[in-house]
Structure 1
Amino acid sequence: MTIIAAADGSALGNPGPAGWSWYIDDDTWAAGGWKKSTNNRGELMAVAELLAATAHRADEELCILCDSQYVINSVTKWMPGWKKKGWKKRDGKPVLNVDILSVIDRLMQGRNVRFEWIKGHAGHEMNEAADERARAAATSFQAGEPANEGPGFPGATKSAELMMAAPETVGSSATAEASSSTSGKAAQGGLFDAAADPVAEAASKVRAAQTTLVRAAGKARDGEDARLQFLTKRAALVPADLSAAFPGDFSAPRPEVNVIGSTGVAITRGSGWTATSTWDLSADAVLVAHHLSIHA
């Protein structure tokens, strides 16, 4: 049996109030969103949540109807190459939205997933239903009202949002093998020799960089924004305004960290918002993207 579903995202302004939705039929659909995010993140989140909702039916083919070439190309064409390069693009810059893409990658493992492009706003019944629900979610967040999350998928036990909230710190198989090999050599060298864990070291590097960013944001709120300007000069900021991208309670003594190749992602949470900071760890940690999603 094949599960056929449409996935779509919507943003009222880009960035702006945003929503996502996947739709199978009137009794099987889900939606969500943020008070401020982007259309691309909505499109990706719809796919991630659909994969999570159907994870317990992994033995069945999943056909995803999608009107976003960005999503389809990211998942089916570009993602394998990005992973080999440590989640870097051809120009060496870290991939944007890696926090959602890495969850999609995990959820697709061992599954038969097929994407089918359909033209948006062209009267396709399922696409229109998903678009309508994604836009309704965005509109609800714009109005400060709770979005209709829908009935969901029967028997679903996973959530992409929860997976992002508790990210795995991962490295490549080559890193794991190298760590194991180094560990063996350390054991031969002496009982108290400790092998360096490159993934743990990278995570510590991200946390240190994030701490510096938090302090710089605090100084910026006091009128001294030179350091924050310097740290963010190479970064794609959403929203673009520094004062909006770093809210007053932007602080976390220990952010949630995910290391993917030479890219680090730090997730900081506050009252009604989530900030995703993406760091290039090739040399010194460099902030390449910072995205603030406002939930309420």
Structure 2
Amino acid sequence: MTITAAADGSALGNPGPNGWAWYIDDANWAAGGSPHGTNNQGELRAVLELLQATAGISEKLMIECDSRYVIDSVTKWMPGWKRKGWRKSDGGPVLNRDLLEGIDEAIRGRDVEFSWVKGHAGHPLNEAADERANAAAKAYQAQQEPRRGPGFTMATDAGAAAAASAPIAAAATRGEQDAAASPAVATSLAEPLWAEPSDLLDSLYASVDDPIEVRLALSSDEHARLRDRAEAQGVTLEEALRRLI
């Protein structure tokens, strides 16, 4: 059986009051946050909390995220960062290292796959996680205690597990359908790679040792998309690439 869960983060003002949440079903979810943080920190925290909550299960875990930054950080870039002593290609420190190190430890030896889903597009698990993460961020903004949820409560006996598996199996099917349309670890630039424009330079830093390789590998359409992302951050693509050299 595959357990499918969504993980999401929210930051009011980004950075600002911060929330995170993971969601499997109404009986299995958790949320929390902090007075100050970013969207990326919230989503990384949600992934870490989900992995820790489900530690010891034998089932495969499918994690749905709407942040390419989070997925690529864990599945693509982290091995290189570790080899370089948690340094990026430019020699600067990797952001959110504490969360990434926690995920690296929690994921070790487990059957875990990530699937990208578009945020705010009607994916049931993602919408449920987003709602809870945003509510947690608003609670911290109001200096109130957030709803933390029941945590991971799935039954382990055969009968109860069979009953509990129905909504999870349905979610898993949705995850598999999404994965068929969009691979779990996508490498194409045809879809948005960054949840926020501010992720642009970090994504470029982490992608290759020689940033010129990014430009040479792009199709004209992909080049235009990447250029638009750079300009949304207030720099040209050439300027962004030069910063990496």
Normalising by structure 2, we get a TM-score of 0.62
| Counterpart contact for 2:17–2:137, Cα < 8 Å | yes
Residue in 2 aligned with 1:3?
A: 3
Counterpart CA distance in 2 for 1:103 and 1:149 is 20
Residue in 2 aligned with 1:26?
A: 26
Mapping 1:217-256, distance limit 5 Å: none
Residue in 1 aligned with 2:197?
A: none
The C-alpha deviation readout for 1:129-176, integer Å capped at 9, x for no partner, is 0000000000000011100000000279xxxxxxxxxxxxxxxxxxxx
Counterpart CA distance in 1 for 2:99 and 2:114 is 17
| Counterpart contact for 2:119–2:126, Cα < 8 Å | yes
The C-alpha deviation readout for 1:260-284, integer Å capped at 9, x for no partner, is xxxxxxxxxxxxxxxxxxxxxxxxx
The C-alpha deviation readout for 1:180-224, integer Å capped at 9, x for no partner, is xxxxxxxxxxxxxxxxxxxxxxxxxxxxxxxxxxxxxxxxxxxxx
The C-alpha deviation readout for 1:69-106, integer Å capped at 9, x for no partner, is 00000000000111111111111111010000000000
| Counterpart contact for 1:21–1:31, Cα < 8 Å | yes
| Counterpart contact for 1:66–1:118, Cα < 8 Å | yes
Counterpart CA distance in 2 for 1:54 and 1:24 is 11
Mapping 1:78-89, distance limit 5 Å: 78-89=77-88
Unpaired segments of 5 or more residues in structure 2?
156-245
Q: Percent identity?
A: 67
CA RMSD of aligned residues (A): 1.2
For the pair 1:91 / 2:86, whether they are aligned, the reply is no
| Counterpart contact for 1:66–1:115, Cα < 8 Å | yes
Counterpart CA distance in 2 for 1:88 and 1:35 is 27
Task: Tell me which amino acid in the other structure corresponds to 2:13.
Answer: G
Counterpart CA distance in 2 for 1:82 and 1:112 is 22
Which protein has greater RCO, CA pairs closer than 8 Å, 6+ apart? 2
| Counterpart contact for 2:10–2:18, Cα < 8 Å | yes
For the pair 1:142 / 2:145, whether they are aligned, the reply is no
Counterpart CA distance in 1 for 2:122 and 2:68 is 18
| Counterpart contact for 2:27–2:153, Cα < 8 Å | no
Residue in 2 aligned with 1:152?
A: 151
| Higher fraction of strand | 1
| Higher fraction of helix | 2
Normalising by structure 1, we get a TM-score of 0.51
Give 4+ residue runs of structure 1 displaced > 2 Å after superposition: none
Shift of 1:15: 1.1
For the pair 1:77 / 2:71, whether they are aligned, the reply is no
